[in-house]
């Protein structure tokens, strides 16, 4: 059978998480129109009798400003070193020269496909020119155009990946979808709601720590803390008379129930941790 590690790289907001979800056929990575939504490396397994593909969604490549960013870029660096194939994801609307500089700077030691994403937003001439441009680059084995959101040519991309991967024995059980614990995804779903409901500043100043994840007979009890920098941010997250924290909780609980296929009791608390993004101890506690 075909087996291999396929890691997805690109700028923030190129659509890496959307592509992972489209390839896996499940929503594993949270998605937001805001940049830098993904903070961890998230693996998803695509299994069949004929193949096992271990996909990795990685944080968008940025210039680090905080210790948090440094840890995110370390996850990218580690991903560069253990892939059988890299997927270099480019938004068709972005400047090809800029993207080429970024891809070249990765100094990939493994073969790579350039995947042109969001072709539903670009005209055919732009796609043709981008294919010619990236097709001439030494790091690029193939150029494939897709729309991850609209699931255009996802099957074509998967076929190209499988053609390229080596034969081998599977690394994971065929029933496994990921190697991350379920509580991680509960925390990510809560964080996704913060991206959804709040303006730009708040999501980047918050993280979520799942303190309790207990499977009982009739439901799963989850207790989580939303961590913020300042008291003023805590007030915004809670909202007038608790309106916003209730909105986050209701929406997150519904999505977690759908993800887990079980009833969920969700408790949310908001804690202030000044400058947590630059605090090594806090970052370790929060899983970074």
What length is written for the chain?
288
- Domain assignment of residue 26, given as a range: 2-164
**Same domain for 12 and 105?**
yes
**pLDDT at residue 37 in the model:** 77
Per DSSP, what are the bridge partners of residue 53?
4, 46
Mean pLDDT split into 10-residue runs, the chain, 288 residues: 93 90 89 75 92 89 68 70 90 93 86 95 89 95 96 96 95 90 94 91 90 94 96 95 97 96 97 90 82
The DSSP secondary-structure symbol of 207 reads E
CA-based torsion, 82, 147, 188, 236: positive or negative: positive
CA atoms within 13 A of residue 164's CA, in its CB half-sphere: 21
Is residue 169 in a domain?
no
**pLDDT at residue 69 in the model:** 66
**Same domain for 223 and 139?**
no
DSSP sequence for 230-242? SHHHHHHHH-GGG
**Same domain for 70 and 209?**
no
Is residue 177 in a domain?
no
Q: Please state the pTM of the whole predicted model.
A: 0.85
**Same domain for 203 and 151?**
no
Q: Are 32 and 196 in contact (CB under 8 A)?
A: yes
CA atoms within 13 A of residue 266's CA, in its CB half-sphere: 27
Tell me the C-alpha distance between 80 and 105, whole Å: 12
Alpha-carbon dihedral of residues 67, 187, 193, 73, nearest 10 degrees? 30
DSSP sequence for 74-133? HHHHHHHHS-SEEEEEEETTS-HHHHHHHHHHT--SS-EEEEEE-GGGS-HHHHHHHHHH
Is residue 44 in a domain?
yes
Last residue of a domain, one of 164, 191, 219: 164
Question: Which CATH number covers residue 260?
Answer: 3.30.300.20
Is residue 174 in a domain?
no
Question: How far does CA 125 lie from the centroid of its chain?
Answer: 30
The DSSP secondary-structure symbol of 168 reads -
**Same domain for 121 and 19?**
yes
Total domains, the chain: 2
**Same domain for 140 and 41?**
yes
Tell me the C-alpha distance between 17 and 61, whole Å: 13
Place of tokens 């790579």: 112
**pLDDT at residue 16 in the model:** 92
Q: Are 20 and 44 in contact (CB under 8 A)?
A: yes
Is residue 61 in a domain?
yes
Write the CA distances from 192 to 131, 206, 248, integer angstroms: 33, 11, 9
Indicate left, alpha or beta for 272 from its phi (over 0: left) and psi (-120 to 50: alpha).
Answer: beta
């Amino acid at each position: 059978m075909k087996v291999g590690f396929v890691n997805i790289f690109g700028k923030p907001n190129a659509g890496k998480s959307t592509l992972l979800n489209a390839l896996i056929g499940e929503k594993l990575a949270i998605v937001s129109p805001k940049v830098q939504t993904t903070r961890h490396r998230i693996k998803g397994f695509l299994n069949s009798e004929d193949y096992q593909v271990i996909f990795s969604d990685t944080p968008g490549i940025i210039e680090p400003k905080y210790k948090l960013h440094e840890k995110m870029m370390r996850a990218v660096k580690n991903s560069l070193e253990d892939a059988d194939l890299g997927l270099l994801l480019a938004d068709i609307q972005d400047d090809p020269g800029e993207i080429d500089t970024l891809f070249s700077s990765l100094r990939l030691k493994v073969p790579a496909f350039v995947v042109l994403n969001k072709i539903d937003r670009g005209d055919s001439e732009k796609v043709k020119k981008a294919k010619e441009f990236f097709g001439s680059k030494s790091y690029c084995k193939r150029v494939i155009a897709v729309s991850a959101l609209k699931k255009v040519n996802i099957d074509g991309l998967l076929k190209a990946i499988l053609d390229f991967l080596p034969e081998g024995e599977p690394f994971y059980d065929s029933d496994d979808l990921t190697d991350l614990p379920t509580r991680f995804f509960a925390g990510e779903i809560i964080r996704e709601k913060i991206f959804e409901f709040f303006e730009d500043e708040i999501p980047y100043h918050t993280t979520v720590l799942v303190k309790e994840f207990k499977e009982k007979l009739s439901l799963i009890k989850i207790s989580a803390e939303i961590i913020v920098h300042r008291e003023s941010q805590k007030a915004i997250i809670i909202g007038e008379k608790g309106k916003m924290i209730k909105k986050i909780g209701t929406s997150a609980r519904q999505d977690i129930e759908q993800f887990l296929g079980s009833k969920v009791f969700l408790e949310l608390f908001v804690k202030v941790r000044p400058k947590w993004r630059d605090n090594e101890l806090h970052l370790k506690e929060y899983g970074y």
